[in-house]
Structure 1
C-alpha cells in the first residue's frame, strides 16, 4: 500500500513538473505599440506621475531594455517603423527616409505613395498608398506565411506610413486618419474594395468633435509641472491664432485656423482617438478570438506632432505623456477583458526620439546649431565651380545627402568618384557639417562602431546619394522653436523597448540592444521564421523557456 502511494505521488509530481516545463502557449494576439518620438527618459522623467496601470504596469510585469538604440541614420518615422518590424536597417529594407530623392525618377518621392491604388473610405487621394517600397518582409508577413495566410494583421495609426509599413505586404488592412474637413478613417484599395461595416460604423459615430470642441488644459495643476520649462517661453511653437504658446488652449476656436480636424493630430486627444479606433478594430475583427495568432500594429502619432511644436521640456509634452499613460492603462484593461490576460503579448517602443530645442541649449551655452539648406547648397555649388568649373554637377541635396548629376559629370569627362570625394573633403569646412563620406567609402569600408557605422547601416547602395553628410550634434534644419530628429546621436537613438505578456519574463536589462532585435525576438516567441532581411538578434533574456 505504501509503495502504491509512493508511486501515485511520484507520478503526480512528474506530471506537475512536466506541465511546469511545457513551453508557454502561443499568444492569440500580438500587439506592437510604437509611440512616435518617445525618448527613453520619458519613462524615468515622469515616472512618479504615471499611474499604476499604464507604463508602470508593463514595466513591473514585463521586461524593459534600458539601453536600446537605433543603429542607423536617419532616425525618421517611416524608417523606424520599417526597422522595428523587419528586423533590419535601410541598407536592406529600402525605406531610407519619409521622403527622398529618387535618382531614377528624378524627383522626390514619399515612402508609401502608390498611384496604382485608390482611396477606400472617401473621395480624396489620401488613400493612394501601399507598402511596395518596403523591400523585405515584416514580422507581420512572416506570421501570415507561417499560418498559411490565416489569422489577421491590422495596422492602425493617424499617420499613413505608420499604419502601412508595420502591417507589411500581406496585411488584412491598414487604416489611417484623414482629417481636414473629412474626418474619416480610411484605407487603400491595396487591401480591400470596401470598408468593413465596423469601420463605417465608427466613422458614422465619429466622436472627433467631442475631442475638439473643448479646451486643452493641463491634467493637473500647472504649477506641479516642475519637470518642464515655464509655460510661456520663446522656445515653443504656437498654433495659428495664438499670441503665446500657453495653457489653456481653446481647441474649439483654434480648429478654425488650424486645419479643422487636422488639429486633433496635434493634441493629446489624438492618441485617445487612435486608441478608440484600435479597440473598435479588436472587436470588429474579433482579434485574439481564434486558435491562430493575430497581430495588431498600433502607432500613436500625436506625441510626434506635439514634440515637434513644443520640444522635449515643454509642459505640453509632459501633459501629453501623462494622458497617454491613461490611454495605455485603458487599452491594457480592454485587452484583459476582450482577449484575456494570458492570451496576448505586446511590445512597446518608439520610432525615434528627439533632441532638446537647439535654441534652448544655446541659451544654456550647450553647443547646438541650425543649418539652412540653401546656404549649404550655395556652398556646394561654389565648390563645384571652383574645382570643376561647373554649377550643374549637383542634382539634389536632401536628407544630408548629395546626389550628383551623373550625366553631366560624364559629359564633362569627369570621374564620379573624384567629384564626390572632393565634395566630401570640402563640405566638412561648412560650419555645421561635422563629417562627410562618399558612397564609394560606404561600399569599400566596413565601419564596425560609432556614428559612421550607423551611417553605413542607413546607406542603401541603390537609393542613397553620392555623398553623405553628418552634422554636429544638436543640429536641426528648422526654425528656432520646437524640435526634430533624424541623427545618429543618442538623443535620437535611445528609445524604450518593453516586452509584456504571454511568454515574457519579468525584469530589465542594461545591455546594449538594437531596434532590429525586436522582430527576431517576437519571431522566436511565435516559433516562426524571422523576416527575410533580419540581421538583429534574439533577445533571449526576455523570453520564458
Structure 2
C-alpha cells in the first residue's frame, strides 16, 4: 500500500530528528589531584625563638612565605614534661602524650648500662645501599598507638609515605609502621640508612644525595657565616662565648672546617649542611613520586638541635643556621611549586621541643631581655624562661653517686643500671630485692637525688596516678610524661635553667627536657591554599594535637 504524503513527510522528519547529535552536556569536574602533604619538624625550634626572630628574616625567605601564605600558630603547647626529640615527634604524629604512646625519652640503658636509642631493636638490622647488614637497627616496636602515616596507609594502601631525618627518632614516627621509605643518617657509615623493620632495600633515589660521596662533597668547604653583618647585628653574645662546645676538635668559632673534626660525618649534623642533605633527599623523593597517589613527605630537620646543644640558641652558629635554613626552605618551596604547582602542595611545620640558653650567658643582659623587662616591672615572662644559672647535670656522675648510696645501704653489688634523661633505672638484681629492701632502696635513691641543687622533683614512677588531672600543672605534665610499664624506677625533674648534659661536649652546651613553657611551647605554620587563611596569626595557646589534626585534614582523612 502506498504511503500517504503526510505520513511520509512525518516519517522523514522523524528520521532527520533521530540522526542529530545529542545535545551537549556539561563535562564532569576533573578529579581532584591526589594530595601532596609535607610535614616538617624543625628540631629544637622554640616558640620564643620564632616569636623574636622570624620577623627579622628577609621577605624572600621560606618563613616569610609561610607567614604570608598560611597561618602562624604562635603558641603550640605540649601537654607533657620530658620535652625531648622522641617524645616530641611521637606526640606530633600520634596526637598522644608519652603516657599513652610509650615513648618516654630519647634513650634507655641497655643491659650494660650504656645509653642507646629508645628505638633500638635487637630484631632489626641496619639496611644500607648494599642491603641488610649485621648491625642492630631501629624500629617502631615500642610505640603503643597508631600514627598519622598508619591512618593514611589504612585509608589509601597505595599512598607514598616517605620520612627523612638525620636521627632515627626524627624519621621513624613520621613514616609509621608501613612506610614507602624511612631514612636516617648513620654517621658511623657516613650515609643514610633504614632498617629491616621498614624494608630490605633502599629506594634507588637515595643513591644521588644519600651516599658517602655526596655527603663528603657537602663538607668540602668549611661552614662560614652566610651574612656576617646580619649575624653581628642580631647576636647578643660573642662568637667565642664561654660555655659553647667543641665537637671533637671542630672548634667553637667560625670558620668551622670539617677537616679539623675527628669525626667529620658527626660534625656535619651540627651544621646547616645536615639539613641540606635531608632536603636534597626530599627533592629526589618528590621527583620519583607517582602524582596519582597521595603522598605524605615527613621531614625532620635536626641540625638546629645539634647546633643548639653545642653552641646555644644565642650563638653566632644558631643565628647563621636560622638564616641558612630560611634560605633553604625558600628554595625547597620553589621546587615544590615546580613539581606540583603553587596550589598543588600543602605543608604543616612545627617543632618537637624548645631550648634554654647557656648557663654562662646569665651575666649578659642582652641575651636575656626577659629578665630586665617584665620581671623588674613586677610581671612574669610568658615562656617561664629562667634568669638564674643552675647548670648541667652529668647523668653518669648522678649514676655513680646513686650506686654509692645503694652500696652503703645494701652492701656490695651492682644496683643502679644507669641514668638516661630523665629516668633512673635499676639492675635486675635490685628490682628483684624483697619488698622491704626494695622500698628502702627507692627511698635512699630519692633522698640522694634531692641533694642535687639542679633537681627540683623526684617521682617514683610506680606511684603515678591511674588517670592524670586536666590542665597544665607540673604534676599533670609529669603524669602524662610517664607511661605505665616504663621500666624505670625514678623520674628526676630538673629545675628551670638546669638540664641533663647532652654529652656532645661534656660540661658545655645546653639542652631541654623541662615541663616549663620555654621548652614545651613551639610554633606551627600551616600552608594550604584555599583551605587555610593566608596571613593569619593565632595567639591563643593551641594543643600539640592540632599538628596531626591539620595533617589529617589536608590528607583527606
Q: TM > 0.5 between the two?
A: yes
The 5-angstrom pairing of residues 399-410 of structure 1 reads 399-404=421-426, 408=430
**Of residues 536, 540, 544 in structure 2, which corresponds to 1:511?**
540
The 5-angstrom pairing of residues 259-278 of structure 1 reads 259-278=263-282
SS class of match (1:156): strand
Indicate how the Cα distance of structure 1 residues 455 and 26 shifts in structure 2: closer, same or farther if over 3 A, else same. farther
How far the C-alpha of 1:225 sits from its partner, in A, is 2.3
Which is further off, 263-272 or 134-143? 263-272
Indicate how the Cα distance of structure 1 residues 415 and 480 shifts in structure 2: closer, same or farther if over 3 A, else same. closer
Kindly indicate whether the alpha-carbon contact (under 8 Å) linking 1:27 and 1:345 is maintained by their aligned counterparts in 2: no
The 5-angstrom pairing of residues 517-528 of structure 1 reads 517-528=546-557
1:80 aligned onto 2:88? yes
How far the C-alpha of 1:464 sits from its partner, in A, is 4.5
Indicate how the Cα distance of structure 1 residues 205 and 313 shifts in structure 2: closer, same or farther if over 3 A, else same. closer
CA distance in 2, matches of 1:524, 1:31: 13
SS class of match (1:465): coil
CA distance in 2, matches of 1:439, 1:169: 29
2:474 is matched with 451
SS class of match (1:207): helix
Structure 2 unaligned segments of length 5 or more: list them: 1-25, 366-386
Kindly indicate whether the alpha-carbon contact (under 8 Å) linking 1:65 and 1:496 is maintained by their aligned counterparts in 2: yes
**Of residues 510, 525, 538 in structure 2, which corresponds to 1:498?**
525
CA distance in 1, matches of 2:263, 2:106: 22
1:97 is matched with 105
Structure 1 unaligned segments of length 5 or more: list them: 1-14, 529-545
Kindly indicate whether the alpha-carbon contact (under 8 Å) linking 2:247 and 2:267 is maintained by their aligned counterparts in 1: no
How far the C-alpha of 1:354 sits from its partner, in A, is 1.1
Kindly indicate whether the alpha-carbon contact (under 8 Å) linking 1:397 and 1:403 is maintained by their aligned counterparts in 2: yes
1:441 aligned onto 2:448? no
Indicate how the Cα distance of structure 1 residues 382 and 202 shifts in structure 2: closer, same or farther if over 3 A, else same. closer
CA distance in 1, matches of 2:277, 2:217: 10
Which is further off, 294-303 or 126-135? 126-135
CA distance in 2, matches of 1:106, 1:184: 28
Kindly indicate whether the alpha-carbon contact (under 8 Å) linking 1:436 and 1:468 is maintained by their aligned counterparts in 2: yes
How far the C-alpha of 1:125 sits from its partner, in A, is 5.3
CA distance in 2, matches of 1:508, 1:74: 28
2:514 is matched with 487
Kindly indicate whether the alpha-carbon contact (under 8 Å) linking 1:158 and 1:300 is maintained by their aligned counterparts in 2: yes
**Of residues 38, 45, 51 in structure 1, which corresponds to 2:45?**
38
How far the C-alpha of 1:410 sits from its partner, in A, is 5.8
Which is further off, 119-128 or 265-274? 119-128
Kindly indicate whether the alpha-carbon contact (under 8 Å) linking 2:92 and 2:548 is maintained by their aligned counterparts in 1: yes
Kindly indicate whether the alpha-carbon contact (under 8 Å) linking 1:358 and 1:480 is maintained by their aligned counterparts in 2: no
2:378 is matched with none
CA distance in 1, matches of 2:507, 2:364: 12
**Of residues 405, 420, 426 in structure 2, which corresponds to 1:398?**
420
The 5-angstrom pairing of residues 112-511 of structure 1 reads 112-118=119-125, 119-122=127-130, 128-147=137-156, 149-180=157-188, 182-203=189-210, 206-222=213-229, 224-228=231-235, 229-241=237-249, 245-251=252-258, 253-254=259-260, 257-286=261-290, 289-290=291-292, 292-361=293-362, 366-377=388-399, 379-381=401-403, 394-404=416-426, 408=430, 411-414=433-436, 416=438, 420=442, 423-424=445-446, 427-444=449-466, 446-448=468-470, 449-478=472-501, 479-502=506-529, 503-506=531-534, 507-511=536-540
How far the C-alpha of 1:380 sits from its partner, in A, is 3.9
SS class of match (2:124): coil
Kindly indicate whether the alpha-carbon contact (under 8 Å) linking 1:64 and 1:498 is maintained by their aligned counterparts in 2: yes
When Rg is computed on C-alpha atoms for both structures, the one with the higher figure is 2
2:384 is matched with none
1:540 is matched with none
Indicate how the Cα distance of structure 1 residues 235 and 121 shifts in structure 2: closer, same or farther if over 3 A, else same. same
SS class of match (1:360): helix
Deviations 1:333-366 (A, max 9, x none): 1111101222222110111121101222267672
The 5-angstrom pairing of residues 522-537 of structure 1 reads 522-528=551-557
How far the C-alpha of 1:474 sits from its partner, in A, is 1.1
**Of residues 38, 59, 66 in structure 1, which corresponds to 2:67?**
59
How far the C-alpha of 1:109 sits from its partner, in A, is 4.6
Which is further off, 383-392 or 218-227? 383-392
Kindly indicate whether the alpha-carbon contact (under 8 Å) linking 1:127 and 1:186 is maintained by their aligned counterparts in 2: no
SS class of match (1:215): coil
CA distance in 2, matches of 1:379, 1:211: 43
CA distance in 2, matches of 1:51, 1:489: 32
2:8 is matched with none
